[in-house]
Amino acid sequence: MASSSSSGLTFKLHPLVIVNISDHYTRVKSQLSLPPSLTSTSSAATSNNNNNNSNGGENNQNPPPRVYGCVIGVQRGRTVEIFNSFELIYDPSTRSLDRSFLEKKQELYKKVFPHFYVLGWYSTGSDAHESDMHFHKALMDINESPLYVLLNPAINPAQKDLPVTIYESELHVIDGVPQLIFVRSSYTIETVEAERISVDHVAHLKPSGGSAATQLAAQLTGIHSAIKMLNSRIGVLHQYLVGMQKGDIPCESSLLRQVSSLLRRLPAIESEKFQDDFLMEYNDTLLITYLAMFTNCSSTMNELVDKFNTTYDRHSRRGGRTAFI
């Protein structure tokens, strides 16, 4: 396998693809951990996406399952953007791909996303294997140069990068024989507004049992820590500039330019326009709070009146009186 690609393509990967692959792997792995009686009733699509599924309930030392699917998106010039993915039915033991299922899924996605087409496929594992080339070649009739997205589901606390690798296929001459091999390609994460909101929501989710107040407290704590760190770093810059002004620190023009560039990025909160906008938003927030309080009071009052009418109506039927309210 070559170290890096020489195609010059730029790849942009959307978070939805990573979420889909993770969800696919988690479902398959969970179904393998079920008792044999329940595992035997699982769907054909899930059972075909694993290696040696039939022994899943008998041998707990089976290797992690592998899942397979297609990635779809668009290519504009030299930029390839991967937007979404869908699952495939593939049996690694017989190396058979369900073509009818693939064509049906492709047709359905074309109706909803007419500009998307199949860019390649995905799987799970720690590294690309030689056997993956058989699946890769099976998709070349759809895309003459498909890409391969590999997700490593193994948890490594020391790893800071995403466990996702994108491979391209290139024809190399090895020992005088032309062979198709996988080469690594670099990529960037691209998001739209809806994806950013979704990822932020998932990142702040707590395990089952956590209250909404706990989630809010955790989010506010993170914001507070970020503001505190920003304030401390601004203080360091201020001390540096004061020391330079007094002559305690030698003046360096390059550092001053960097400090000036950083200060321009900070929001100007001393202007009159900012104060007007801040007061307007503050007053709007107070008004919404008061309206919410009045709404709650009105709702409580209505419930009290309904209860009073119900109780008084029962007494009036006994004594012949009319309702008070």
- The residues, ordered by sequence, that sit 6+ positions from 95 with a Cβ below 8 Å of its Cβ are 131, 134, 135
- The answer to whether 3 touches 184, Cβ cutoff 8 Å, is yes
The full DSSP string for 186-255 is -EEE---HHHHHHHHHHHT---TT--HHHHHHHHHHHHHHHHHHHHHHHHHHHHHHHHHHHTSS---HHH
- Predicted confidence (pLDDT) at residue 227 exceeds the cutoff of 90: no
- Other residues' Cβ atoms within 10 Å of the Cβ of residue 325: 8
pLDDT level of residue 44 (50, 70, 90 thresholds): very low
- Predicted confidence (pLDDT) at residue 72 exceeds the cutoff of 90: yes
* Helix extents (H) in the chain: 15-32, 36-39, 44-47, 99-112, 132-138, 193-203, 212-246, 253-265, 272-319
Among residues 171, 164, 155, which one has the least CA distance to residue 185?
A: 164
- Predicted confidence (pLDDT) at residue 105 exceeds the cutoff of 50: yes
Residue-wise pLDDT tens digits, 152-167: 988 787 887 888 999 9
pLDDT at 210: 53
Residue-wise pLDDT tens digits, 111-124: 888 899 899 999 99
Task: Note the pTM of the prediction, 2 decimals.
Answer: 0.56
- Predicted confidence (pLDDT) at residue 185 exceeds the cutoff of 70: yes
